[in-house]
Amino acid sequence: MLTSQFLTYVAFFVLSAIALIGAFLAVTLRNLVRAALGLILSFMGVAGIYFVLEAEFVAIVQVIIYIGAISVLILFAIMLTRGLMTSAASTQNSQWIGAAFVGMLMFAVLFFVAITTNWPLAQPHTISDLIPRLGADLVTTYLLPFEAVSLLLLAALIGAIVIARE
């Protein structure tokens, strides 16, 4: 095994562990703020994996959007909610056994798929003008989804204001 390959593996497993630990903390911690911080850790791990996959753009966008925007907004919402900060509501209800069963089943199925699929290996190649091409694709091939997303965001914005205003 080449050294670089070995290092890639190490990085991948470390980052995966970070992502999984973060996700685990996010769903098990009783303190909402800490759970949100766990979520941030998980996003960090995922962003790291993107870096390992040499998808720097996706990685950075992941950090900007998921950590810089979404998580911060989640934290902000938690802070604005009175009483939630100190509450230690249980993270489980009486249906957790059923949910665990369904979750395990889903995991088993996906695991089975993951090990039986004959994953085609992508040829290693670097695209030099990745971002210009991404931008060009957004306004040519993916023009309609792009516009649909903007309409979706507009609708979400209006909806949020309708719900939140006094």
Closest listed residue to residue 25, CA positions, set 45, 10, 48: 45
CA distance linking residue 49 with residue 51, whole number of Å: 5
Site for other proteins (CB under 8 A): which residue of 2, 88, 97, 122?
A: 2
CB nearer other proteins, residue 94 or residue 140? 140
Burial 11-24 (b: 16+ CB within 10 A, else e): eeeebeebbeebbe
Q: Is 17 in the site for other proteins (CB under 8 A)?
A: no
Q: Is 84 helix (H, G, I), strand (E, B) or coil?
A: coil
CA–CA dist 103, 109 (Å, integer): 10
Task: Output the CA–CA distances (angstroms, integers) from residue 87 to 23, 90, 151, in the order listed.
Answer: 21, 9, 37
Q: Which of residues 98-157 bind other proteins (CB under 8 A)?
A: 109-110, 112-113, 116-118, 128, 130-132, 136, 139-145, 148-149, 151-152, 154-156
* Of the residues 64, 77, 104, 105, which one makes contact with other proteins according to CB under 8 A: 64
Query: Judged by CB, which is closer to other proteins: 97, or 161?
Result: 161
Which element (helix H / strand E) includes 13? helix 3-28
CB of 4 to other proteins, least distance (A): 7
Residues that bind other proteins (CB under 8 A): 2-4, 7, 31, 33-34, 37, 40, 56-57, 60-61, 63-64, 67-69, 71-73, 75-76, 79, 85, 109-110, 112-113, 116-118, 128, 130-132, 136, 139-145, 148-149, 151-152, 154-156, 158-159, 161-163
